[in-house]
Amino acid sequence: MLTSIVGTNWGDEGKGRMVDLLSRDYDIVVRYQGGNNAGHTVVNDRGRFILNLLPSGILRPETANVLGPGMVVDPEHLTKETAALREGGIDITPAHLVLSSRAVLCMPYHRLLDQLEEDRLGDRKFGSTRRGISPVYADKYMKKTLRMGDLLHPESLREKVEGIVEWKNLTVEKGYGHSPVGVDETMAWLEEYAMPFAPYVRDTTVFLRNAINEGKSVLFEAQLGALRDVDYGIVPYTSASTTLASYAPIGAGIPFAKLDQAIGIMKAYSSCVGEGPFTCELFGEAGDALREAGGEYGAATGRPRRVGGFDVVASRYGVLMQGCTSLALTKLDVLSYLEQIPVCVAYELNGQRTEEFPSSIDDLNAAKPVYEYLPGFRCDISGARRLEDLPKAAVDYIRYLEKAVGCPIRYVSVGPEREAYIQLF
Ligand code: GDP
């Protein structure tokens, strides 16, 4: 069984928590795109963990975890993330963590360039996490990066670094007027943070092909959501990577494989980190109350998130682009406080009502939300474990959303804990 778990919206849909839950049925969990620019928060019997780079399966000792070729890996961050997990009692060894030899290294100069560019833009900034993700993906397409496999060839590493650093300094020094990147400091950084991971580096294509041939099941874990996809998202307020389910086999290193299912993670309301159009945004008291109820502060950055009611237009588009075969609806319990549940059912654009998600940034900037209200359920549902345990208004809301986005909801999560969920079929 090859399953992809993806976000249907702007990210932060609660994917980490669902992967943590579902990974028990899989032998291997693979991250296949992005870097440490987003975070999953996972709460289970072993504690509360924030994962930026590592697949959520890392919290289960019997699960193998892979960082695929589609990823960009900052080994300094990986060093800190693995250290924090080890402090929490999680064992991390090459026996259950495999880093693709094709994955690209996110370097200190990528972080630097991300910061320099956001600072240069000032008020026009994109809201980057400043972790170097766009610069490193740009360099990947320029074919001027180091890959994890280069760590296995230390004899030619310095020569590769010299070539790249010379080219980088055309931008860092001559472009931004910053002090140049040094070859020695870059080599020292690689020695300190990257080299210790050399024993974890393998050809993940071989690893996964063999595993699939042996009948092992694989869960592909995406970061961010459909609306952050570099091609189909809210360009330019997107990530630099492909966040869609259909990229999973490619980014994982097994482009010949076909997914059996794509489970979309969809939140019972909307949230968005950073800049850019967010049509369904709620402001003032309504927004503050929802943000507080949902604890909507970034896992990677701590930034307060923008919030809104469930956005039918954006979610239906996201579910379609992900090719979802079923959905997990998360954080339904957060809406318990509401008398009436706000739902953005359409956009108004140039005086016309539309239910299609606009592809142009200008149309998205101009779009106004059309809100309707559904009855609230006004009671604590965090203890519900079967559909019958939910009040009618909550069931009606679930059925309404299924119909609105055109995909069955299989799981409903009603709390952050591993077992706080209902399985509908
Ligand atoms: P991700 O990047 O998609 O995994 O999203 P986040 O890291 O933002 O995770 C969502 C946050 O909500 C985390 O703090 C989770 O522990 C929490 N969470 C996940 N599912 C639920 C839920 O059903 N109810 C509540 N109240 N919290 C949840």
Find the 40 Cα to ligand 1 centroid distance in Å.
8
User: Quick one: pLDDT at residue 234?
Assistant: 97
Residues 6+ apart with CB under 8 A from 219: 3, 4, 5, 19, 22, 23, 26, 28, 29, 30, 57
Q: Annotated catalytic, 40?
A: yes
Within 13 A of 30's CA, how many CA atoms are on the CB side? 33
Reported residue count of the chain is 425
Structure-token pair, residue 192: 């300190």
User: Quick one: pLDDT at residue 128?
Assistant: 78
> Where exactly are the structural domains of the chain?
2-102+199-263, 104-197, 266-423
Output the CA torsion sign for 260, 65, 228, 340: positive
Q: Above 70 in pLDDT, residue 76?
A: yes
- Does the predicted model carry a pTM greater than 0.85? yes
User: Quick one: pLDDT at residue 38?
Assistant: 79
Give the lowest-confidence range in 44-48, 140-144, 167-171, 396-400. Answer: 44-48
Q: Angle 53-119-275 (CA atoms, 0-180°, nearest 5)?
A: 65
Q: Above 80 in pLDDT, residue 278?
A: yes
Find the 296 Cα to ligand 1 centroid distance in Å.
9
What does CATH list as the number for 266-423? 3.90.170.10
Q: Are 310 and 268 in contact (CB under 8 A)?
A: yes
Confidence at 300, pLDDT banded by 50, 70, 90: low
CB of residue 205 inside a 6 A radius of ligand 1: no
Task: Report CA-CA distances (Å) from 145 to 103, 140, 166, 195, 254.
Answer: 10, 6, 13, 16, 22
Q: Kindly state the DSSP code that residue 83 receives in the 8-state scheme.
A: H
Say how many C-beta atoms besides its own lie within 10 A of residue 297's C-beta: 15
Q: Annotated catalytic, 110?
A: no
CB of residue 267 inside a 6 A radius of ligand 1: no
Report the nearest-CA residue for atom 18 of ligand 1. 416
Class of domain 2-102+199-263: alpha beta
Please give the torsion angle defined by the CA atoms of residues 300, 329, 315 and 70, in that order, rounded to the nearest 10 degrees: 50
Say how many C-beta atoms besides its own lie within 10 A of residue 344's C-beta: 25
The runs of H, that is alpha helices, within 88-227 are: 108-121, 133-142, 157-172, 183-189, 204-213
Confidence at 167, pLDDT banded by 50, 70, 90: very high
Per the residue annotation, which of 20, 27, 40, 333 is the catalytic one? 40
What does CATH list as the number for 104-197? 1.10.300.10
CB of residue 305 inside a 6 A radius of ligand 1: no
CB of residue 17 inside a 6 A radius of ligand 1: yes
